[in-house]
Amino acid sequence: MSHDPLHPPLSEFALTTEETDAIKHALALHDSWKLEQVGMEPVRDTLKALRNRIKYFHLMRQKNLCCYCRSNLYGGGLFTIDREHIVPKSHCKPLTYEISNLSVACKRCNMEIKKNKTSLFHNPATIKDTHQDKDSYKIIHPNFEVYEDFISRTQLQEGTSVLVKFNKRKEDAKTEFTYEFFKLRELECNSFDAAQGLPQSTSTQTAIESSLVSIAQGDSIPLDTFISLIRQAATSESDDDQKNSSGINTLPKDEMNKFITAALELYAKSVNEQYTPIGHDRTLSLPAPRAQESDE
């Protein structure tokens, strides 16, 4: 078994005798997960409680984030969070209730992308025996590896303006496969400029994004330099909408203050605390998923 670097450790999750017996009953059925089937009636309440316990245990381990894309799951329920089977239960039924084969994911990553695919294993035929070995997987393993050792998600939201950026911390096969498999590029966005009616790819966009990404990667930026960079980025020599007396195009004062306030919040966090990915306490609203629970 690979080292477990997360907290609380997997070893702290213990099954009761009643839960163990209920799992044995479920595994004897054709579908070991669907609670609504008639055959589940004797153990339905026990398994329902167990599955909730599994979900909240893994939410603690993942810090309320999707184990694959780091979207915020805090406060989400049936329509947001899936109990994720890393090795799909359809591929390996005996691992259906194995705590090391479970985690939490958003509907996008689980239902729309991963589904029942086995291409994320090096050898699907032997994964039952090697499922606790992180090297058996092409993806970052949700339980045996720290996601942020490979990829960090930088996220800033001010009202309706959102910046999302994934930063590859390692240049290796797992980083690349996870990034491509879960289509993380599709989640990246920068609507700060668009929200202000500014053209894309301006100095504002470039400076703000590069500053936030640098801080997210743990780089040290002097406070004066940081503020100066943001202020300078708000001044552009582009066209003719809001030019001041010197003929320079600037952001409105109240919008500039929004940028500076949000940026300084992030700066203070990086200076006063050990760096934690922004996704841990910043929210990005995702489109409402389909009202269907997959839990693959």
- pLDDT reported for residue 214: 60
Q: CA 121 from chain center: how many Å?
A: 20
Residue 253: exposure state from Cβ atoms within 10 A (0-12, 13-18, ≥19) = exposed
Spatial contact of 95 and 101, defined as CB atoms under 8 Å apart: yes
Q: Does residue 1 lie within any of the structural domains?
A: no
Q: At 1, is the pLDDT very low, low, confident or very high (cuts 50, 70, 90)? A: confident
Give CA–CA dist 60/64, Å, rounded: 6
- pLDDT reported for residue 156: 85
Q: Which residues contact 90 (CB under 8 A, 6 or more apart)?
A: 116, 296
- pLDDT reported for residue 292: 47
Do 115 and 230 lie in a common domain?
A: no
Give CA–CA dist 216/279, Å, rounded: 11
| Structure-block tokens of residue 272 | 């006063």
- pLDDT reported for residue 225: 61
Q: Hey, which of 46-55, 155-164, 271-280 has the most confident mean pLDDT?
A: 46-55
Q: Does residue 64 lie within any of the structural domains?
A: yes
Q: What Cα–Cα distance (Å) separates residue 260 from each residue in 3, 128, 223, 249? A: 42, 51, 12, 18
- pLDDT reported for residue 283: 37
Percentage helix, strand, coil, to 5, in the chain? 45, 10, 45
Give this prediction's pTM.
0.68
- pLDDT reported for residue 161: 81
Please list the residues that pair with 249 across neighbouring strands: 236, 243
- pLDDT reported for residue 113: 96
Q: Which residues contact 153 (CB under 8 A, 6 or more apart)?
A: 69, 70, 164, 165, 166, 167, 277, 278, 279
Do 107 and 157 lie in a common domain?
A: no
Q: Does residue 219 lie within any of the structural domains?
A: yes
Please list the residues that pair with 103 across neighbouring strands: 84
Which DSSP category does 12 fall into? G
Residue count (the chain): 296
Q: Residue 61 pLDDT more than 50?
A: yes
Spatial contact of 164 and 189, defined as CB atoms under 8 Å apart: yes
Do 133 and 163 lie in a common domain?
A: no
Q: Does residue 287 lie within any of the structural domains?
A: no
Interval 201-206 mean pLDDT: 52
Residue 154: exposure state from Cβ atoms within 10 A (0-12, 13-18, ≥19) = buried
When divided into structural domains, the chain yields a total of: 2
Do 160 and 120 lie in a common domain?
A: no
Do 92 and 164 lie in a common domain?
A: no
Q: Does residue 293 lie within any of the structural domains?
A: no
| Structure-block tokens of residue 206 | 């470039």
- For 103-171, what is the HEC assignment? EEEEHHHHHHHHCCCCCCECCHHHHHHHCCCHHHECCCCCCCCCHHHCEEEEEEEECCEEEEEEEECCC
- pLDDT reported for residue 158: 79
Q: What is the pLDDT of residues 241-292, one digit of tens each?
A: 444 433 334 445 565 566 566 666 665 655 554 434 334 443 333 334 444 4
Q: Residue 118 pLDDT more than 50?
A: yes
- pLDDT reported for residue 281: 42
Q: Does residue 197 lie within any of the structural domains?
A: yes
Give CA–CA dist 266/276, Å, rounded: 11
- pLDDT reported for residue 160: 80
Do 43 and 65 lie in a common domain?
A: yes
Average pLDDT, the chain: 79
Give CA–CA dist 252/57, Å, rounded: 46
Strand ordering across the sheet containing 151-158: 151-158, 161-168, 189-190
Do 84 and 195 lie in a common domain?
A: no
Domain of residue 73 covers 10-145
Q: What is the pLDDT of residues 19-44, one digit of tens each?
A: 999 999 999 999 999 999 999 999 99
Do 139 and 156 lie in a common domain?
A: no
Interval 179-196 mean pLDDT: 78
More confident residue, 273 or 92: 92
Do 131 and 161 lie in a common domain?
A: no
- pLDDT reported for residue 231: 58
Q: CA 11 from chain center: how many Å?
A: 24
Q: Residue 193 pLDDT more than 70?
A: no
Q: Residue 162 pLDDT more than 80?
A: yes
- pLDDT reported for residue 256: 56
Do 210 and 138 lie in a common domain?
A: no
Q: Residue 216 pLDDT more than 60?
A: no
